[in-house]
Amino acid sequence: MVDDPELACPIAPVVDIVFSRWTTPILWSLHTHGRQRFVELERRITAITPKVLTQRLRQLERDGLVVRTYHPEVPPRVEYEISDLGRSLAPLFAHLTEWAGENLEKVERARRAYDGD
């Protein structure tokens, strides 16, 4: 028996990788719209700051979920695309989307009931 709850839950590392604040919108955008430049991602994910977008893209590249391609042109061009590993998360996102459609209203009702509204 494992005493550490983080080690006992086999999906904890996946949740840390995939469901950090900005990872899902970035992967969703790259999956939906294909290869994009930084500024295109920034336009699509309007609430993210350039600093945070840079940090998340670097982490996603490090994790193997995003591929960064540098084109040595004048001016230089960098593009990002979802990797095959990142694309393999699509069924997970599809299931979560389905779950959200079926259950978010129930969650909202439970919250209102709990809060006494």
pLDDT in tens, 70-90: 999 999 999 999 999 999 998
Q: Which has more pLDDT, 61 or 3?
A: 61
Q: Please indicate whether residue 35 or residue 13 has the higher confidence score (pLDDT).
A: 35
Angle between helices 90-115 and 23-33 (to 10 degrees): 140
Q: What is the token pair recorded at 31? A: 């999956």
The string of pLDDT tens digits covering residues 41-50 is 999 999 999 9
- In this predicted structure, what is the pLDDT of residue 1? 53
Give CA–CA dist 46/53, Å, rounded: 10
- pLDDT at position 93 is 87
**pTM assigned to the model:** 0.81
Where are the alpha helices (H) located in the chain, listed in sequence order?
5-8, 12-18, 23-33, 38-44, 50-62, 84-87, 90-115
Q: Which pLDDT score, from 0 to 100, does residue 9 have?
A: 82
Following CA atoms 26, 13, 62, 29 in sequence, which dihedral angle do they give, to the nearest 10 degrees? -10
Q: Pick the more confident residue, 101 or 4.
A: 101
Rounded to an integer, what distance in angstroms lies between the CA atom of residue 105 and that of residue 112? 11
